[in-house]
Amino acid sequence: MRRLYLQIYLAFVGILVLLGLLEGLAWYLMPEVPHERQLFESVGTVLGEVLPGTERPLEELQATLERLGSAFPASFTVRSADGQLLAALGDTLPAPLNSEGGWMHLKGHGPTVAVYLPDGRWLIASHEHSLDGGHFFVFVLVVGLLGISIAIGAYPLARRITGRLERLQKRVDELGAGELSVRVDVEGNDEVAELARSFNRAADRIEHLVEAQRGLLASASHELRSPLARMRVAVELLGDERPELLQKVSRDIAELDELIEELLLVSRLQTIDQLERLEAVDLLALLAEEAARSGATVSGEPVNIQGDARMLRRLLRNLLENARRYGNDSPIEASIADRGEAGALLRICDRGPGVPEAERQRIFEPFYRPAGMRETGEGVGLGLALVRQIACHHGGEVDCVPRQGGGSCFEVTLRGV
C-alpha cells in the first residue's frame, strides 16, 4: 500500500512541476502576436524621434545610447538595414533574421528585443542578466519553490486517500483471520468511502451467515442426543440374542456420540471470544494423568498456566489418542518444557509412518482424515481441529513436524490466558 501512496503522491507532484516547466518554456519560446507587433512599431516610431537620424554623426548616436544605458541596465546595438554595425553599448548584439521587429532568443543573453526604426535602422536591446546565469538560476529557483509548495500541499491529499485504503486492507486481513465483527469507519463520500460501505455490508452478511450456521450446528448436535440415548436403551434391552449385531450397533452409536460431542465443543469454541473457566493448571500433572490411559512415557518439568483445565485435558487426550491411532502401536513420548515468557511447549511424538508434508496443515482442518483412514471408521476428523482451537484460546498454536529417525511430533505452544 505504501507503494501506491508514493505513486499517487509523486505522480501528482511530477505532473504539476512538469506543467510549470512547460509553461516557462512556452513563455520563453512563444512567438509574438499581432498586438505585440503593433506595440513594437509604435515603440520604433518613438525611438526614431529620440535617436539621431542617419544624417547625424555616429558620435551623437553613441552618446544617445550611453544616455539610454544610464537609465536602463541593458545592452544596446544599432545596425543599418543591411546589418552593418553603427553603434553599440555593452554586448554587441546580432541583427535580426527577419525584417520584422519582435522578441529575439539569443544564447548567452537575457530577454532580447529588436525594434525596427522608421528610417530602416535596427535597435537591438538585451537585458544584462543572462538566462544561462543568474536569471536561469532565479527561474529554476521559482520552479523549485513551486514544486516544494505543491509537494507540501499534495501530501495530505495523497496520504488521506491511501491511509483509508491501508485501514481497509487491515480490516480485510482481520476478517480473513476470523474476526467477523470488524468494520471499517466510513470517511468521506467518495469511491473509497463507498468501498468501505460495501465491505461493511459484506462483513455483516458473512457474520450473520456464520452465526446462523453455528447455531444450526449446535442445535442439531444437541437434538441428536435424545434419539441416540433412546437407541442405546433399545440396544441394551435386546439382550444377548445377536451379540455381533449388538456390538456393531453399539460401536456405531459410540461413534455418533463422539461425533456429536466433538461438534458441540467445536460450536462452543467458535462462539466464544474468551474462556469461561480460568484456573491455574499444572500441565505436567495433567499430562501424566492422561498419559496413564494410553501408556505414554512422560518427561519434563512442572509448568503452570492460566486456562480451562477441561479444555486442556481434551487437548492432551486428543493428541495422545491421535498418536495411538496413527502410530502403529509404537511407543508414545510426551514432554512438557518451560519456555519462560513464551509459555510452555508440549511435545507428543510417535514412531509411526509420519505425516506427508502436503498434509501437515490439512490434518488440522475439520473432518479431514488421511487417505485410507475413512474406510476404517477410525475417528471423525475433528480431534486435531479441536486441538488447534483449544490452543488458540490459550494463546498458543500447534504444529506437526517430522521426527528424526521416523515418525511425527505434535508441538503445542501454550501461553495461558
* CATH number of the domain where residue 219 is located: 1.10.287.130
Q: Which residue has the cell 462452543?
A: 268
Of all helices (H) and strands (E), which one includes residue 350?
Answer: strand 344-350
Q: Which amino acid is at 103?
A: W
Give the domain range for residue 96: 31-132
Stretch 8-21: mean pLDDT, rounded? Answer: 71
Does 328 lie in the same domain as 310? yes
Return d(Cα 290, Cα 277) in angstroms, integer: 20
- Residue 91 in contact with residue 126, Cβ under 8 Å? yes
Does 340 lie in the same domain as 285? yes
Stretch 211-225: mean pLDDT, rounded? Answer: 68
> Mean pLDDT for the chain?
78
Range in 42-46, 104-108, 332-336 the model is least confident about: 104-108
pLDDT for 131: 47
150 within domain boundaries: no
246 within domain boundaries: yes
Q: Which is more confidently placed, 222 or 400?
A: 400
pLDDT for 34: 55
Closest CA to 135 of 156, 109, 161, 158: 109
The pLDDT tens digits of the residues spanning 404-414 come to: 888 899 999 98
Residue 401, strand partner residues: 409
- Residue 36 in contact with residue 113, Cβ under 8 Å? no
Does 374 lie in the same domain as 248? no
Confidence of residue 399 (pLDDT cuts 50, 70, 90): very high
The pLDDT tens digits of the residues spanning 103-147 come to: 666 655 667 888 888 888 888 888 755 444 555 666 666 667 666
Does 342 lie in the same domain as 306? yes
101 within domain boundaries: yes
- Residue 111 in contact with residue 127, Cβ under 8 Å? yes
Instruction: Tell which of 100, 132, 164 closes a domain.
Output: 132
pLDDT for 319: 92
Backbone angles phi, psi at 300, to 5 degrees: 130, -160
pLDDT for 365: 82
Degrees (nearest 5) of the Cα angle 213, 219, 220? 90
Count up the domains in the chain and report the number. Answer: 3
pLDDT for 208: 82
Does 380 lie in the same domain as 325? yes
Does 327 lie in the same domain as 219? no
CATH number at residue 75: 3.30.450
Does 344 lie in the same domain as 263? no
13 within domain boundaries: no
The pLDDT tens digits of the residues spanning 77-95 come to: 888 888 888 888 888 888 8
Return d(Cα 383, Cα 379) in angstroms, integer: 8
Does 356 lie in the same domain as 250? no
Task: Identify which of 150-159, 360-369, 406-415 has the greatest average pLDDT.
Answer: 406-415
pLDDT at 164 over 60: yes
pLDDT for 278: 81
pLDDT at 100 over 90: no
Stretch 207-233: mean pLDDT, rounded? Answer: 71
Backbone angles phi, psi at 367, to 5 degrees: 65, 15
Instruction: Tell which of 99, 132, 165 closes a domain.
Output: 132
Does 375 lie in the same domain as 346? yes
